Structure formats: structure tokens, C-alpha cells
Structure 1
Amino acid sequence: MVATQILAERQAAGRKARERAKRSRHAEIGNTKRDPIELLEASSAGRVEALVPLRYGRMSLSPFTFFRGTAIIQAHDLAGTVNSGIAFPICGDAHLMNFGGFATPERQLVFDLNDFDEVAPGPWEWDLKRLVGSFAVAGEHMGFGRGAIGEFVWSAVHEYTERMREYSQYSSLDLWHEIISFERMMELAKTEEGRSLLARTSKKAATRTHESVLAKMATQQNGKWTIQDAPPALFHPTGPNSLLGKESNWTDTEAWQGKLARAFDAYLDTLPADRRLLIDQYELHDIAFKVVGVGSVGTFCLVMLFVDSHGTPLFLQVKEARPSVIARYFDAKAHDHQGQRVVVGQRLLQAASDSFLGWTSGPAGRNFYFRQLRDMKVSAEVERMNATIMQGYARICGWALARAHAKASGKAIEIAAYLGSGERMAEALTGYAMACAAQNEADYKAFMSACRSGRLQARSDEDMAADFRI
């Protein structure tokens, strides 16, 4: 069969998918007849009990922080909507704060998706809906009007559409090598303000190294570096500031000769041989428990501090991988190892992934994945953006999401054909985003009511830190 015929058949398949899911129906918000508190409680099961109030405390700051911690609620609702029938491993939590800059192994600063805890096979439009919903929620929180928010959504959807159309012309290998560098973004920025912001962000990224973390997080005594406790966000698992409880005090630096040494060896087996040899050049100095993000609060997360013979540090983050909320609500084959699911999904969706990305199984049957704690990683300071910068950021996120989907799926041709000009999808998703923000506001009010009534306990970082002050 000649290439032109294959291309035509794939385009026809994409257009035919509109029969399954008319583009106008993507305005539907889905199944909202549920108790959001029950869903939150389900997602908190199995987390460190003492840290669940901190999770709720961070979520309580605003409707936007609440949205960031409730991927389970949106996934539940989306399960009640039509879908295109084009499914593959999606990010699963592609809100606007889960994009950012980081360094490739070649030390090039790139922009991409950077959180894959929920990665799993699902409809590609679920990622796009998570993205536009986040712009609507954040936009309302920042005081933008409906007109401006509509422009953010329109920009993200049209950029996604235009890039997907472009990627539908790429060869498989060219698409695999496609990367969104900061240099490219600066060249394509539509305003001088945008170019200036990218330049400042690039400069900031250069300072966010393992060495900079070492100076902030650890102290040296007798040639050994020790991570300093800063509870509730950072503490030694078996130390006096631990929040894990006796039943969970299963790790410290000394215990590394036992269960954790075996878990680390299993992680090394998931790395290429050259990375294993590289890690062999480092000595473990300390291990601490670190509380991260909003949605991940209460899951097990360790920071390992290694130092080489030159005194140069390497921080590895060991993060618990729990079952994806996408897998819970979309009928797809479950992955046997959640850490492997995250790593494989990240490698598939990202243009370039962390050199130390790998997975292992830990005590109590928990699954984990490894990555560097900080390697020129930077995130957007969304709450400081004006409307022009926010719209530009929406375009960049739409571009990055299209690139990730095109690479991961190999179905850019079908998706581009389904989208067409993008006008109908942009109109539908604008309606969806506004409805999503309204539903999120209602869920947030129910959440805050549950916190006030005592059904849920919410505590701030400051409140919990006060427990450790003398």
C-alpha cells in the first residue's frame, strides 16, 4: 500500500472518530453527581496519616490549589463524558503547574511536562481538558474576566491543534527527536515582555543545581554531610521530628544495609550500565523524608544525598508511585508496577528524560521511582503573570502537550484530522473550562465546609512547624 493511501486512511479514521464523539460534546462536564469529599478521602487512603491534614491545608489555600490536588475528581467526572476513542499513555494531570523547564542530559534547558504520577492509557482529550480547566480556575483566582480566560483557553487549544497538524507531517524519527528548547521559545515569543521573562527564567534555572540545594539543605561535619530537619516538609524518618509513626519508621541512613540496600540495587538494575557506573562514583551521606507538592502530600518521598570524591553532591528523590486516577476511571490494562508505569510513561511523553530515572519496590509493598531532586528545574510563577504573559504561557503549554501526545501515541495524523481547524474544539473546550471552574468552586466550598465541620482536618505548614518549636 502506497504511503499516500495509508495517510488518507488514517486521516479518514480521525474524521470518523467525530461520529463517536462530536466535537461540540466536549463542552460537557460529565458526571458531577458525587460527593467530592468521599473521592478526596479515597485518594488519601494509604498516605502517611499525620501528613493528610497538611495535604488538605495546602489545598485549602484557594480554589486553584484545591484543583491541583483533585485530579481524582476531574477524572471521575470525565469518565461520564464521550471520548474520541483514541487512547494512549497520557499525562493524566496536565494542569498548568505541571509544565516547566529542566535540563536535558546534554545540559540544554527545555520546556515540557514534568509530572507523571498519574500517567496511564486514556483519551488524549482528558489531558487537554485538565489543561484548559486549570487555566479557567487559575484565571478566576487571579481576577481575570471571562473574556481573558476565554482567550487563554482558545490559545491553548489552537496551539495544540496547529502543532498537532504540524506533527502529523513529521516522520516517526523526527518526531521522537523534537524538543522545545528555551532558545526556540525566545525566537517565537510574540512580545518583548515574553522574551525577557524567558531570559530571566533561563538565568534562574542555571542557579538551581545540586550544589545550590546542598548549601540550603545540609551541613557538613567531620567530612560527612547531613540533611537538616525542617518539619513538617523535611525530616529524618527515625529522628525526633519524624511524622511517620512507629509502624512506618522503616528507613534511615544506617538501615541502608538492609531492606533499602536491596531496593536500591533493584533500582540500579533499571538503569543503563553507564548510569550504574556513574552512581558507583558517589557515596551515600544521608537520607531524609521530604513532603512535596500539593497532590502528592502524604505519599512516601525520600531524598538521598550522595557525594563524590570531589565533594560534589547528587540528590536523588525516591517518590512513591500509587495507582493512577486515570486507570481508576478509564478501562485499560493496569500496570503491574506503579513505579515502572511512571518511568515508562515519562520516557515516552517527555522529549528528554532524567538520566537517573528508574524504579524499585520498597518495604510494605510500596512502589517507587527515582529521579534527580533538582537539575535546573524551574516552574512558572503563574500568580505573577499578567493577561498577555498568561496567554503566551497557554500557547507554550498547548505546544508542549501536543508534542508529548504526538510522540507518545504515534497518532498525530488521526488527532489532527479529528480536530480539523480547531474552531469547534476551541469553542467546546471554552465552555467546558468555564463549567469546570464553576464545578471546582462548588467542590471547593464543600471541601472548606468539611474542614470547618471537622469531617476533614486541615493544617498549614506554619501550624505544623509550630509543633516542633521550643
Structure 2
Amino acid sequence: MPQLAPDLLARARLRRAEVPPASHSAVGAVERDPLPLLHASSGGRIARLVPLRYGRMRSSPFAFFRGSAMLQAHDLAATPYSGIIQQLCGDAHLANFGGFASPERTLLFDLNDFDETHPGPWEWDLKRLAASFVLAARYRSVSRGRIDDILDRLGRSYREHMREYAGMSALDVWYDRISYERLLERIDDADAHELVKKSMKKASKRTHERLLPKIAGKVDGGWRINDELPSLFHIFEAQTLFSEEERRVLLGSRLALRQKLFDEYLQTISISHRELLQRFSMQDLVCKVVGVGSVGTRCMVLLLTDAQEQPLFLQIKEARPSVLAPYVPQGRSEYANEGQRVVVGKRLMQAYSDIFLGWSHAGEHHFYFRQLRDMKISLDIDNFTAPLLEEYAGLCGWVLARAHARSGGLAGEIAAYLGGDDAMVDALRQYALAYADQAERDYAVFDAACCRGEFVALDDGEFSEVLRRS
């Protein structure tokens, strides 16, 4: 392990005296009613999709946690913080880690969701990740003792890798990447090793070419994406989930919307990639319902094809203000367009970012662009055993340390604050267990409100049935 500079150690001693690692066990401002915050988080979403959002959140405490990041952001604002502010993922739960291809077609393991990225205290990402592991482990009926092991693995992995990055040059940190081949070299558990190999094989098949015939067909000489309510649908046609007012805000027609979004987006990418996109023709634009927390936001898929009719799918995802924005102690985002905020956060934190990242807006709505499917893969954590969760915790701790070291250039500051003992590891474990208890209490309050009819919550099957009847 590298030796840290004396000045960093001196500053760390001051910080640790002012905000001892043990103080990070505090759960924050949890004496509040979660329901008004949940109601507020649905404001501005597509109204007809909000019941589906609530339905997906209602499926388990972990799903609720995924869809209610604003609650933890609110609560963290009242906790002690280290004083080290830098770019955060903002929603670093364990399901937001996965694989995707670099421009050289190397499969990388990294953070993959930055909708909430924002400057803030580095430990907020670590705390959200730790609490997510507790909820996922409880969902899998993992014993308390094994959960402690999982959390210790996470905390120590983050600390040890941050110390490694503190000894690296700025360029070495910037260029570091965690490929699946590197994962295979470091994983000792046989089941985890096999899981990574299977994920690599699966990822190789998740390409634009394979996706095209699955979701689109030829119509009048062009390609048209198939409507599959509620997951895929055309915005400006009879069978849609958008109101007349919503369609008016989105410029009233598919052609106008896609041209407005695309023209502005082109000005936010490099000249070379702009030239590359000139070799494609726009074919179709549809709305796509994704995830848990993102349900109800305006997420679209743009299909383009080249002269050989090979496809390129671009996801155009609405970027709303980060849930962290009202609560961070300092360092607010400087970007007027929320899509630009997301793009900059991704470029800072990911080892390699999508070459087609860019941003745009339509009316009052901000968007960012990225490829929809380019060897992207997420591990199926619903079926993880306790040993797999522990191995995964170590990998996620490594990835988060790399992302933080890259985005802020403050690896030395963070490593010095963490120190060489388990004080922060112990505090993180206590926090994660206590906050998971709080998330389960919030879930119970939410579930009771759904039973009373205060929240209309429909699972995917129920929602589809309502659409069929309407």
C-alpha cells in the first residue's frame, strides 16, 4: 500500500477529529412522513404511468428503496459529513452496477446509472450502496451474520482500493478500467467466476443488430418499432399513454419532436461523431418505460439505420433535477440543462462513456442521449446466494472507489480520512443496518397507503389489463 503524504494525513486528522468516522452511523432526519415526499417525486411525470411506478415500488422493500432515492437524500442531509465534496453517482445502489462495451468492444464493469449524479459528500454514495446490500440480502433471507460479512467486505474493499488509487498518478487513475477479464483474475469463488463468464457470453449477444428484428418490422419501406404496451408505444397515435396536453408540450408530432431533439443534440457531441451520425437515417421514435424510479419520466427510443440497414438505437431519457439537489451541503450543479448534468457526471465517473452521449431539450423538458443497447448487462441479483452477494460487494466497493477517485481527484483526501483501521467500516455497517430498518418502515407506510387507496399502485399485469379495457 502507498504511503500517504504528510499534509493529507494532517488534514485527515483534523477532519476525523471534527467528524469522527463513528459519527457516520447516524441515519439522519428520519422523523418525517415519507408519503408527501413520494407524492412530490411523482410531480411532472406522465400521469397515467404513475400507478405503474408505484406498483413496481410496492413489489418489495428493495424495489421501494430503488424508487425512493429522494427519501434517503432527505435523510442524509441531516447527518455529519466528512467535508470532502465531489461528483457523486447519486443513486449507487447495487442494481446500478453492470457491464457495457468500451469503444474498443472490451466488456467493462462499472456504474451504469447517473440520473441523480451531482456534487456532494462522497460517503453518501457509499451509504446508499451499503443499505441496498442489506435490503437485497434480507430479500434473499440471508442471515444477519452473513450480512455483516457482506458489509465488511464492501467497506474494506472501498477503503483498500481508494488507498491504491491515492498512490497512482492522475492519468493512471483516469485511464484505469475494470474489465470483466480483470474481474475473473481476482474472483476466487467458483460460483461467482462462472456467473461472470456467463454474463460475458450473454453481453456479447446484446447488440443493436440482434435487437432490431425483436422489436421492429418493415412498414412501407422503412423500419417501425412495434407497440408493446406498457413498455413500448408511439406517443402521437391513438393508443398512447400521453394526454393531449402532454403531446402538445412535446411539439405535437413525432417528426417535429425527433427533429428538434436530434438537431440540438448533434451540437453537443464531437464533430467526428456528428459526422458518423450523418450516415444514418431516422426511422422511428417511441416511448419506452424503464426501471423503477424512472417510470413516468419521458424516456424514448430513436431508431436509425445506415445504408446497409444496420441499426443504431439511441435512448433519449428525460433528465429531471437530481434528488440530491435540494439537500447537498454545497457544490450545487452548475448546468442549466439537466441532461448536460447527467452527461458530465457520466463522463467524470465512468472509465469509458458512450461515444454518443449528448443532451437536448423540448419545451420545459431536458433530455440526454445514449446508446440503448450496446453489450449492456446487469447481473441477476434476485438469485444471488450469500457468498455471491459478498463477492459482489467487494467488486462494487472497488468500482465505487475507482469512480470517486476519477471524478474528484481526491483519492488521497478520502483515503487519509478513512485511515487504516475499521472505524469507518464499522460505522458503515451500523448505518446500513439501521437505514435498511428505516426503509422497511417507510415501505410499510407506503404499502398501507396503497391499501387505503391513497396511492394507486398497479403491477405490470394489472396495468396492462387496465390498458386493454380502456
Scaled by the length of structure 2, what TM-score is found? 0.96
8 Å CA contact 1:253–1:286 kept in 2: the answer is no
Q: Matches of 1:282 and 1:235 in 2, distance apart?
A: 22
Q: 1:275-286 alignment to 2 at 5 Å?
A: 275-286=273-284
* 1:173-322 correspondence to structure 2 within 5 Å: 173-250=171-248, 255=253, 257-258=255-256, 260-322=258-320
Residues 270 and 358 of structure 1 are in contact (CA less than 8 Å); yes or no, is this contact kept in structure 2?
A: yes
Q: Answer whether contact 1:14 1:413 (CA < 8 A) is retained.
A: no
Say if 2:335 is the partner of 1:342.
Answer: no
- Point out where structure 1 has 5 or more consecutive residues left out of the alignment: none
Listed one character per residue, the Cα deviations across residues 140-165 of structure 1 (whole Å, up to 9, x for unaligned) are 11101111111111111100000000
Q: Equivalent residue of 1:155, what SS?
A: helix
AA in 1 matched with 2:410: K
- Of 105, 108, 121, the match for 2:106: 108
Change beyond 3 A, Cα 1:422–1:99: farther
- Structure 2 counterpart SS, 1:464: helix
Q: Distance in 1 between matches of 2:12 and 2:310?
A: 51
| Displacement after TM superposition at 1:14 (Å) | 2.5
After TM superposition, give the deviation of residue 254 of structure 1 in Å.
Answer: 9.5
Query: 1:81-116: per-residue Cα shift (whole Å, max 9, x none)?
Result: 000000111001000000000001111100000000
Deviations 1:196-241 (A, max 9, x none): 1111100000000111221221111343111111111111001222
1:52-201 residue pairs with structure 2 within 5 A? 52-201=50-199
> Residue 237 of structure 1 contacts residue 289 of structure 1 at CA under 8 Å; is this kept in 2?
yes
Task: Quote the offset at 1:295 in angstroms.
Answer: 0.4
One-letter amino acid of the counterpart of residue 387, structure 2: T
State the partner residue of 1:457.
456
> Equivalent residues in 2 for 1:342-421 (5 A)?
342-363=342-363, 365-421=364-420
Output one character per residue of 1:343-368: Cα deviation in whole Å (capped at 9) or x when no partner: 001100000000100001112x1111
Q: CA RMSD in A?
A: 1.7
1:192 is displaced (CA, Å) by 2.2
CA–CA distance in 1 between the matches of 2:39 and 2:468?
30
Report Cα offsets for 1:381-422 as digits up to 9, x if no partner: 111111111111000000000000001111100100111125
Paired positions, count: 466
Contact map agreement 2:235 2:254 (CA 8 A) in 1: no
Is 1:448 paired with 2:450? no
Amino acid of the structure 2 residue aligned with 1:321 = A
How many angstroms apart in 1 are the aligned matches of 2:25 and 2:332?
28
Query: What is the CA-CA distance between 1:6 and the residue it aligns to?
Result: 9.8
User: Normalised by the size of structure 1, how large is the TM-score?
Assistant: 0.96
When structure 1 is superposed on structure 2, of 296-305 and 250-259 the one drifting more is: 250-259
Q: Is the 8 A contact 1:253 1:287 kept in 2?
A: no
Q: Contact 1:161–1:416 at 8 Å: present in 2 too?
A: yes
Is there any run of 5+ residues in structure 2 with no aligned partner, and where?
none
Higher mean C-alpha displacement, 23-32 vs 324-333:
324-333
Change (3 A) 1:468 1:43: closer
Work out whether residues 4 and 416 of structure 2, in 8 Å CA contact, stay in contact via their aligned partners in 1. Answer: no
Kindly report structure 1 stretches of 4+ aligned residues shifted beyond 4 Å: 250-254
CA contact (8 A) 1:28 1:432 kept: yes
**Hey, what's the Cα distance between the residues in 1 that align with 2:9 and 2:258?**
51
Which secondary structure state, in structure 2, belongs to the residue aligned with residue 239 of structure 1?
A: coil
Query: Offset of 1:258 from its aligned partner?
Result: 3.2
**SS across alignment from 2:90:** coil
Task: Quote the offset at 1:7 in angstroms.
Answer: 2.9
1:14 is aligned, of 8, 12, 21, to 12
Q: Counterpart of 2:32?
A: 34
Quick one: structure 1 residues 204 and 58, their matched pair in 2 at CA, closer, same or farther if it must change by over 3 Å? same
Structure 1 contact 158–422 (Cα < 8 Å) conserved: no
Q: What secondary structure sits across from 1:53 in the alignment?
A: helix
Change (3 A) 1:284 1:234: same
The one-letter code sitting in structure 1 at the alignment partner of 2:450 is C
Paired with 2:284 and 2:97, the residues of 1 have a C-alpha distance of: 30
CA distance in 1, matches of 2:461, 2:72: 29
Distance 1:254 1:439 in 2: 44
Q: Tell me the secondary structure at the aligned position of residue 5 of structure 2.
A: helix
Percent of residue pairs bearing the same amino acid type: 48
Query: Could you tell me which amino acid in structure 2 is paired with residue 62 of structure 1?
Result: S
8 A contact 2:254–2:285 mirrored in 1: no
Tell me: CA distance 1:396–1:5, structure 2 relative to 1, closer, same or farther (3 Å).
closer
Letter in 2 for 1:107: R
Shift of 1:52: 0.6
Q: Which amino acid aligns with 1:464?
A: F
Return the offset for 1:5: 12
